[in-house]
Amino acid sequence: MSRGSALVDTLVAAFVAAFLLQGAVAAAHLQGAGEQVQQAAAAAASWAARYGDSRAADTLARALAPAAESISLRYSGGSVAAVVRRRVPLAGPNGEVGPVVVGRAVAAVSPYRSNR
């Protein structure tokens, strides 16, 4: 085997390893963002169901997921549904390739709300 082909093989292996590493890092970012928006949605739904304060629930969700694009609370019947959306920039200039992760949670409205 010549030195030139060994160098090419090494460069190709390094490129493939870097590409796989980038994919693993992107997957980790998506996983972390998904957990963050899910936690924010669950906390907002629980707060709104327990205390009936939509503004405080929105503030809580924004504190837990500061990069969220949108946070919505919807009351229906005896429950509150919260949806938190966040775009995760992964590749391209200015994060042009950025999937959206969504966290959803539903909490039953407590018949014994706090008077705080």
pLDDT digits (tens, 9 = 90+) for 76-114: 888 999 999 999 988 777 767 789 999 999 999 867 665
Q: Kindly state whether residue 114 falls inside one of the protein's structural domains.
A: no
Cβ neighbours for 100, distance < 8 A, ≥ 6 positions apart:
69, 85, 86, 87, 88
Q: Kindly state whether residue 101 falls inside one of the protein's structural domains.
A: yes
Q: Kindly state whether residue 115 falls inside one of the protein's structural domains.
A: no
- DSSP assignment, residue 97? B
What is the reported pLDDT for 113?
Answer: 61
Q: Kindly state whether residue 33 falls inside one of the protein's structural domains.
A: yes
What is the reported pLDDT for 69?
Answer: 93
pLDDT digits (tens, 9 = 90+) for 46-77: 999 988 889 999 999 999 999 999 999 999 88
Q: Kindly state whether residue 73 falls inside one of the protein's structural domains.
A: yes
Q: Kindly state whether residue 113 falls inside one of the protein's structural domains.
A: no
Q: What is the pTM of this model?
A: 0.79
**28: which 2 tokens?**
């980790």
d(CA 47, CA 116): 12
Domain enclosing residue 39, as ranges:
3-108
